[in-house]
Amino acid sequence: MNKLNYFIVVFFFSPFVFCQNDLLDEISKETSYKNTFEFPAFKAMKIVNNQSTKLAEKKDLYLYVAHRFGSIKGGLKTLFGLDYANTKIEILYGLLNNVQVGFSRESFKQTYNLHVKYGIKKQTENFPISIVGYNSINLDTSLDEVLYPNLDFKERYVYISQLLISRRFSERFSLQIAPSLVKHNFLTTQSKTDYNYILNSGGRIKISKRSSFNIDYSHHLNRLSNSTEKNVLSLGIDMETGGHVFQLLFSNTQASDEAGVLTSAEGDWLKGDIFFGFNILRVF
């Protein structure tokens, strides 16, 4: 009789207990969902001073405000450069899927900038890297017609083309390289060159869920020997709070547009001639 009781327990109660989880197993096998969400390699559209592979999503509107203060070499007299700020205000918009356009005005060389940034390939489980194209055109309105009476309007233009290639190695760690070309139509000094070939590299390590340490470095490949320009090293911290990303940074350039960063850096880390700045990114 004991045996019979045992069977009653096993057959009448165990199916009842296991059935619920069996149901879950059953639908787990059948679900056809494929994960399409991929985490981006970087939080903001810039790593520090250079463009990242992050794009505004379709119909998302961003406001990008950048400040670059004067050289911290100024010491207490200029409160470490805080007296001399370079301000850039930029509007970004996700026009299409994987296409972002932007317009900005910056104090540095009184520059207007128009850009388009477009996703070519996204990193997924099946593809190891993200590839993004970036093209922009600068209008330098600081060139004085009194100084340069023969200046043609189109000589104020600077063209920038970049291919951004990033890989998110893990949730915390991402790297990027970006071969870049900056073309000046007008050279203010003999030490500048019109076609500038530059190799950018950058990366980030997340310190916490909402903050990361970022670095980027630009290496100029064909700088003239009499040039006083420097390669650019920028260090920054990203802090994300809901709809904002704050980027605090130190760099040896005071510019914050690509042409300025890549071909006008004069500061020197070794001499302490560096600039403090920040970017604020806000989504609407």
Partner 1 sequence: MKARFILFFFFYVSLISAQKYATRSGQTSFIGSEETFEQIKAINKVSTAIVDSSNGNIAILLFVSAFKFEIALMEEHFNENYMESSKYPKATFVGNIQDFKYEELTNTENNYDIVGVLAIKGIERSVTINGRMQKTDQGISLKTNFIVLTEDYNIKIPKVVRNKISKTINIKAEYELIEKI
Q: Can residue 5 be called a binding residue for partner 1 (CB under 8 A)?
A: no
Q: Closest approach of Cβ 173 to partner 1, in Å?
A: 14
Q: Can residue 76 be called a binding residue for partner 1 (CB under 8 A)?
A: no
Q: Can residue 19 be called a binding residue for partner 1 (CB under 8 A)?
A: yes
Q: Can residue 153 be called a binding residue for partner 1 (CB under 8 A)?
A: no
Give the per-residue SS3 of the chain: CHHHHHHHHHHHHHHHHHHHHHHHHHHHHHCCCCCCCCCCCCCCCECCCCECCCCCCCCCEEEEEEEEEEEHHHHHHHCCCCCCCEEEEEEEEEEECCEEEEEEEECHHHEEEEEEEEEEECCCCCCCCEEEEEEEEEEECCCCCCCCCCCCHHHHEEEEEEEEEEEECCCCEEEEEEEEEEEECCCCCCCCCCEEEEEEEEEEEEEECCEEEEEEEEEECCCCCCCCCCCEEEEEEEEEECCEEEEEEEECCCCCCHHHHHHCCCCECCCCECEEEEEEEEEC
Q: Can residue 126 be called a binding residue for partner 1 (CB under 8 A)?
A: no
Q: One symbol per residue from 39 to 68: x for binding partner 1 (CB under 8 A), - otherwise; what is it? A: xx----------------xx-x--------
Amino acid identity, position 152: D
Q: One symbol per residue from 180 to 219: x for binding partner 1 (CB under 8 A), - otherwise; what is it? A: -----------------------------xx---------
Q: Can residue 240 be called a binding residue for partner 1 (CB under 8 A)?
A: yes
**Is the separation of the CB atoms in 122 and 95 below 8 Å?**
no
Q: Closest approach of Cβ 15 to partner 1, in Å?
A: 7
In degrees, rounded to 5, the angle at the alpha carbon of residue 163 between the alpha carbons of residues 93 and 176 is 95
Taking CB under 8 A as the binding criterion, the range among 98-106, 111-119, 136-144, 240-248 that sits at the site for partner 1 is: 240-248
Q: Closest approach of Cβ 43 to partner 1, in Å?
A: 9
Q: Closest approach of Cβ 242 to partner 1, in Å?
A: 4
Among 37, 76, 125, 226, binds partner 1 (CB under 8 A): 37
Taking CB under 8 A as the binding criterion, the range among 144-152, 173-181, 219-227, 238-246 that sits at the site for partner 1 is: 238-246
Q: Can residue 2 be called a binding residue for partner 1 (CB under 8 A)?
A: no
Q: Closest approach of Cβ 209 to partner 1, in Å?
A: 5
- Please name which of 185, 132, 120, 133 lies closest in space to residue 159, comparing C-alpha atoms: 185
Taking CB under 8 A as the binding criterion, the range among 11-19, 72-80, 82-90, 141-149 that sits at the site for partner 1 is: 11-19
**Is the separation of the CB atoms in 132 and 120 below 8 Å?**
yes
Among 125, 190, 242, 270, binds partner 1 (CB under 8 A): 242
Task: Using CB under 8 A, list all residues that contact partner 1.
Answer: 4, 7-8, 11-12, 15-16, 19-21, 23-24, 26-28, 30-33, 35-37, 39-40, 57-58, 60, 94, 171, 209-210, 240-243, 283
